[in-house]
């Protein structure tokens, strides 16, 4: 039996994540780095992206289908690593979580609570997100409910996801297009002292955003602008629930919700803080593990996370695009990216129909049928 298919009673925390494509990998990379004893099941619905221009009924249907598929792996937690899904169909996912007995998490609510809890609250918060997320007002509503009383401006950024998903980050024409549209979107947020990366894809271009704010657009923003990566906020939330991981704070695990360039493009120094991760995590151009192996005699060696990745698109294209977007961090997911599995949209639809009934397109409600879980979930794609 594959270790990823073993019963939950014999395994560590089992976490499912999903997104319209590559964006949720920005969440997975953080979870795998800070909670390496977990088991992760990720689905990128690239055949139906982008989600940002879809209707609420469509998103609700996709969410029900994907969660039904992931539940075959007897999960403890499902992370909505797609903010468009959380903004438009969290109610559907919550109904499934209640019926299935698993924890449901998204990135919007934790991020809003974190911002509202800051001792020095920003006077103005900007949110970069998909058009659907912006139209839903999800971030503004969550911030208000969390107690934040400052100005909030949400800006739709429809061109970013297709550019990031192109698999051609770094190529001149793509970088030129990114620079153009990012400049336009950031100018719409002029004056904000804190900007939320409201789509998980956007963390892949956080360095470009920083460069523009600190360079060509410097005069439009205050002296210091913080970029918030909601994936980091969620990771901290999960860390606090896990006794093993929460005890790691004393040995250098990050406790920082802000994106910086060194986090976007990790190098050897980021992983060599204690030699905790092991040789599996080092790319060829990084410091050889033998040079930091002395740390094993002082600090515990953490397990390598187990990861299974699915996509509704082409597995090879997904893996190639992921490697380009992740850069050096792709080494941490090398095994999973080498074995990406393709899942047909028809299979997802069958899962949604057979287990959870029909989505009510008008009310986006769900008629829940109590599922029967298989401890060992056979894969058929």
Which residues belong to the active site? Answer: 82, 199
CA distance 77 to 16: 6
The DSSP line for 101-143 is T-EEEESHHHHHHHHHH-SS--SEEEEEE-HHHHHHTHHHHHH
Contact 152, 118 (CB under 8 A): no
Peptide bond into 36 cis (omega under 30): no
**Residue 302 carries which DSSP code?**
P
Strand-pairing partners, residue 42, are: 17, 309
Q: Quick one: tokens of 228?
A: 């918030």
How far is the C-alpha of 188 from the C-alpha of 64, rounded, in Å? 34
User: How many CA atoms, within 13 angstroms, populate the side-chain half-sphere of residue 374?
Assistant: 11
Alpha-helical regions (H) of the chain: 25-34, 56-70, 83-100, 108-117, 131-136, 138-146, 160-165, 172-187, 206-213, 230-241, 243-246, 261-264, 268-271, 315-326, 334-338, 345-356
Beta-ladder partners of 106: 80
Task: Work out the angle at residue 110's Cα, subtended by the Cα atoms of residues 104 and 116, and round it to the nearest 5 degrees.
Answer: 155
Q: Helices 315-326 & 25-34, crossing angle to 10 degrees?
A: 70
Q: For residue 14, give the 3-state DSSP assignment.
A: strand
Is 328 in contact with 267 (CB distance < 8 Å)? yes
CA atoms of 367 and 76, how far apart (whole Å): 22
Nearest by Cα to 132 from 173, 90, 166 = 90
∠ CA 210-214-219, rounded to 5°: 130
């Amino acid at each position: 039996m594959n270790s990823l298919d073993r019963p939950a009673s014999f395994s560590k925390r089992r976490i499912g994540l999903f997104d319209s494509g590559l964006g949720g990998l920005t969440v997975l990379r953080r979870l795998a780095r800070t909670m390496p004893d977990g088991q992760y099941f990720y689905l990128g619905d690239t055949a139906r992206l982008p989600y940002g221009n879809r209707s609420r009924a469509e998103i609700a249907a996709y969410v029900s289908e994907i969660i039904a598929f992931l539940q075959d792996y007897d999960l403890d937690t499902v992370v909505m690593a797609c903010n468009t899904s959380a903004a438009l169909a969290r109610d559907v996912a919550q109904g499934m979580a209640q019926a299935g007995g698993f924890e449901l998490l998204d990135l919007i609510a934790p991020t809003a609570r974190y911002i509202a809890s800051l001792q020095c609250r920003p006077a103005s918060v900007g949110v970069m997100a998909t058009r659907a997320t912006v139209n839903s007002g999800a971030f503004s509503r969550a911030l208000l409910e969390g107690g934040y009383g400052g100005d909030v401006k949400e800006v739709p950024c429809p061109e970013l996801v297709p550019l990031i998903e192109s698999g051609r980050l770094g190529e001149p024409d793509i970088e030129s297009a990114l620079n153009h549209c990012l400049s336009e979107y950031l100018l719409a947020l002029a004056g904000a002292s804190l900007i939320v990366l409201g789509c998980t894809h956007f963390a892949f271009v956080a360095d470009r955003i920083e460069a523009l704010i600190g360079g060509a657009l410097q005069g439009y923003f205050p002296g210091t602008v913080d970029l918030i990566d909601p994936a980091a906020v969620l990771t901290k939330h999960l860390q606090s629930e896990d006794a093993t991981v929460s005890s790691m704070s004393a040995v250098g695990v990050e406790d920082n919700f802000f994106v910086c360039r060194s986090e976007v493009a990790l190098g050897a120094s980021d992983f060599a803080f204690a030699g905790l991760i092991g040789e599996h995590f080092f790319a060829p151009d990084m410091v050889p593990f033998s040079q930091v192996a002395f740390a094993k005699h002082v600090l515990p060696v953490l397990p390598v996370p187990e990861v299974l990745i699915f996509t509704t698109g082409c597995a090879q294209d997904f893996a190639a695009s992921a490697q380009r977007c992740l850069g050096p961090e792709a080494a941490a997911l090398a095994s999973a990216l080498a074995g990406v599995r393709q899942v047909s949209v028809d299979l997802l639809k069958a899962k949604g129909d057979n287990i959870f009934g029909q989505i009510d397109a008008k009310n986006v409600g769900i008629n829940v049928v109590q599922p029967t879980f298989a401890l060992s979930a056979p894969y058929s794609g």
